Chains A and B, each alone.
Chain A
Amino acid sequence: MKRVLIVIAVGFLLAVLPFIVSGYWLGLITQAVILGGFAMGLDLLVGFARMPSIGHSTFFGLSGYGVALAVTRFDVAIWPAVGIGLLLSLIAALLFGPLAVRMRGLAFLTITLAFGQLTWGLTTRWSSFTNGENGIPGISRPSFLWDIETVVGYFYFTLLIAIAISIFIIIFAESPVGISLLGVRNSDTRMSALGYNIHSRRTIAFVVAAAVGAMYGILNVFYNKFIGPGSLSWQLSAQMLLSVVVGGPVSLWGPFLAGSGIVILKTMLIGTTQRWPMVLGLLYVVSVVFLPGGIASLLPKVRARFEKMFRGRVTE
């Protein structure tokens, strides 16, 4: 409950951004919130259930393609198209999930990569339907309570949905199901002996993480007004996986911070140096070597330091 309040407080803090930063920064932050939220959802799978997926962008991209194809190929109205997009991702998750959760560790990594490549291949090669590598442009944003065509309007729209999804993730993580995931992570044999169905727990984690990814995928397609195979690429999955590791698994806020931070950092770096992939790579190395627990592991340390200082003053 405490964490839900924190999310709402952070949401309110972010809501003043349009009065402070330029339109360009607001657009960039919108993008950062989308990818940060996506990383937060992946934390349920990678952190809580410790199932390292490198094909999670499948659900992010599929929902986007669902919307784009429904609108451009079948003239479906935008809101129903959103439903179709979500449904498409959900069906894929229900197809891939039960198969993938039987694998552990590297095998799970490999099979998620395979599933990811399957959908990526489908979108790049089925040119007559998906436009192949050229992607699908010209997707307009739906009408909402307020005008979301503008940068500010879309920022608030994204923020509202991101807050809702984050609250859902926290409630899920604190529910008995979420906590049992930690048990499965720590010792699945013991959980099994206690009468928990391991496969169903892992499938639930897989599908919930996929659903979160799908929703952010929809925000992404409306943000760019374009969808291409890049949204389904394993490179995006890897970037998200790195966000979880760098941010600190199981903390939820760490992956969010890392996922959004990488977006902003990358865009800024490209503006300053041609060797931005090297700088980004070095940062990954440094953060993993010196912060093996991720950004989130800093918080207890900082807190301990403060408490020590405080206690020190009192005894003086």
Chain B
Amino acid sequence: MRKLLVLLILTGLVLVACSGSAIEEAATVPEVEEVATEAVEEAAPTEEAAPTEEPMAEAVNVKIGVLNPQTGGLAAFGAEVDKGIQLYFESIDYAINDNLTIELTFADTAASPEQALEQARRLVEQEEVDFLLGIVSSSVAVPLAQYADEAQVPLVVTVAGGTPVITGPDRSPYVFRTSITTGQLEPILGWYTASELGYSTAVVLAPDFSAGHARAEAFTETFTAAGGEVVAEIFPPRGTTDYGPFIGQFNPDDVDVIYAYFFGSEAIAFVQQLNEFGVTPDKPVVSPGFLTEAEVLPAMGDAALGVISATHYAPVLDFPANADFVDLNSGAAPGTYLESGYLGAQVVAEAIAEVGGDFSDVQAFLDALAATDLASPSGPFGFDARGQSVRSLYIIQVVQDDDGNYTHEVLDVIENVSQDWSP
């Protein structure tokens, strides 16, 4: 019986180890908090250096609570968003002006709603942050939006787009979302595939979890409304490595186009196997941008050539702000999660500057956010009346440039896409 207990403990340890395994990836954000405080300290001397101009101005320090998953299954994405946020604030030396500094306090949601709530309470009530920024997982977004409303703390969501409700008709005035919702991508892609690209039959493939089903459904709806027909919907489980059995479930001759939503390593495996089975390059593939993120293109190689994606950001976009952003990222092509963090930071920094870092009147900060009009790396950016971002959607295609590198080419731009978009 004693042995059994030992066995139990061992299983327990394995659990703990499992939940911790993703920290390796999160570790790419080194000593997060130290960086923030150091930067604030660095900014302090400049304050003293220019005292004569505004002798009455008091030094203000704005504290931002950043809530992203640092452990668990979404840790890699959380690390990218954290990095994007830091990238922006580092570029302005964690200071809006001489008297207005920014301090970041990071917390780990582990993509669990309960833990995220506990950490949000800690940030707001214990660390006394002025507002919350971040959130990758949609399941965390809804309870946190509810918390933000009750605690009357502004919440700026940078990624989670699977829950339209937080910027829906019953939304809280304290909640804003800089990322796009599912409704700002798939419905447009569905319509575009049928009307503009002119394909009439499609097969839909997406991972078997709530976002996969939601996206597949959203694509199907506008695709069929525009005259298309979905001949098969296939949902491989999360973490599938061999897509052969799923690709074999449809006859490529029966379809004009393949819609696929996969991300990360699953995207690489899927795109490569689609090519090995001879489905591509004969049959075109349309997808949300996650399938052909800049980071995964080299791993996919020629298999990805020709894949068409709808995305809110791509490194090739020709905007001055994007050139700055790519420079800051040491010239490497930034992924969409990095851009999400960077954009979120840029948006809140503008609003902080607008109110002069004064959070005694939260409404003024919310008004400043609502009035955001920004030239972001992904083009013109603003909010609609319900705090949801209004951005451009880009139709891009994977191509090979003259040096043999895999990159994207912008085929089309659909401007001012709001959550209420209709063709």
Contacts and interface: CB of A to CB of B under 8 A. Distances in A.
Interface in B35-52: none
Contacts of A106: 4, 7
- What is the predominant secondary structure among interface residues of chain B facing chain A? helix
Nearest to A25: B126
A230 B1 CA distance: 30
A137 B125 contact: no
A220 to B, nearest CB: 8
B171 interface: no
A138 B209 CA distance: 23
List 9 A-B pairs, minimum CB-CB distance, nearest first.
Answer: A277-B20, A24-B125, A281-B16, A226-B143, A132-B210, A242-B12, A228-B113, A133-B139, A24-B126
B210 A235 contact: no
A238 B15 contact: yes
B113 A230 contact: yes
A277 B23 contact: yes
B237 to A, nearest CB: 12
Given A134-B210, A276-B108, A22 B125 contact: yes
B70 A274 contact: yes
A109 B8 contact: yes
B19 A235 contact: yes
B20 A133 contact: no
A298 interface: no
Interface stretch (B94-102, B115-123, B280-288, B331-339): B115-123
Nearest to B9: A288
Contact of B107 (A238, A270, A275, A284): A270
A29 to B, nearest CB: 12
A242 to B, nearest CB: 5
A135 interface: yes
B146 interface: yes
A192 to B, nearest CB: 18
Given A137-B143, A275-B23, A270 B119 contact: yes
B422 interface: no
A267 B118 contact: yes
Nearest to A282: B16
A238 B15 CA distance: 8
26 contacts: A24-B122, A28-B121, A31-B118, A105-B1, A105-B4, A124-B210, A133-B138, A134-B142, A135-B142, A135-B143, A224-B114, A226-B117, A226-B146, A230-B112, A230-B114, A241-B8, A245-B9, A267-B118, A270-B115, A271-B107, A274-B27, A275-B20, A276-B71, A277-B23, A280-B16, A288-B9
Contact of B12 (A138, A278, A284): A284
Nearest to B22: A277
B4 A271 contact: no
B370 interface: no
Interface in B109-141: 112-115, 117-119, 121-122, 125-127, 138-139
A225 interface: yes
Interface string B78-108: 0000000000000000000000000000111
Contacts of B107: 270-271
A2 B9 CA distance: 32
A231 B108 contact: no
A197 B70 CA distance: 50
Contact of B146 (A109, A127, A137, A267): A137
Interface residues of A, number: 44
Interface string A213-248: 000000000001110101100010010011001000
Nearest to B210: A132
B5 interface: yes
Contacts of B112: 230
B11 interface: yes
A241 B11 CA distance: 11
Nearest to A138: B146
A23 interface: yes
B12 A241 contact: yes
Given A134-B139, A245-B8, A288-B9, A24 B121 contact: yes
A127 to B, nearest CB: 6
B27 A228 contact: no
B385 interface: no
A50 interface: yes
Given A22-B125, A226-B113, A274-B27, A284 B13 contact: yes
Interface in A129-155: 132-135, 137-138
Given A228-B114, A274-B23, 20 more contacts: A28-B121, A127-B210, A135-B113, A135-B139, A137-B142, A224-B113, A224-B114, A230-B113, A238-B15, A267-B118, A270-B108, A270-B119, A271-B126, A274-B27, A274-B32, A276-B108, A277-B23, A278-B23, A281-B13, A281-B20
A11 interface: no
A228 B143 contact: yes
B274 interface: no
Nearest to B125: A24
Interface string A12-28: 00000000001110011
A285 interface: yes
A22 B106 CA distance: 22
A255 interface: no
A36 interface: no
A275 B145 CA distance: 27
B224 interface: no
Contacts of B210: 124, 127, 132-134
A52 B146 CA distance: 37
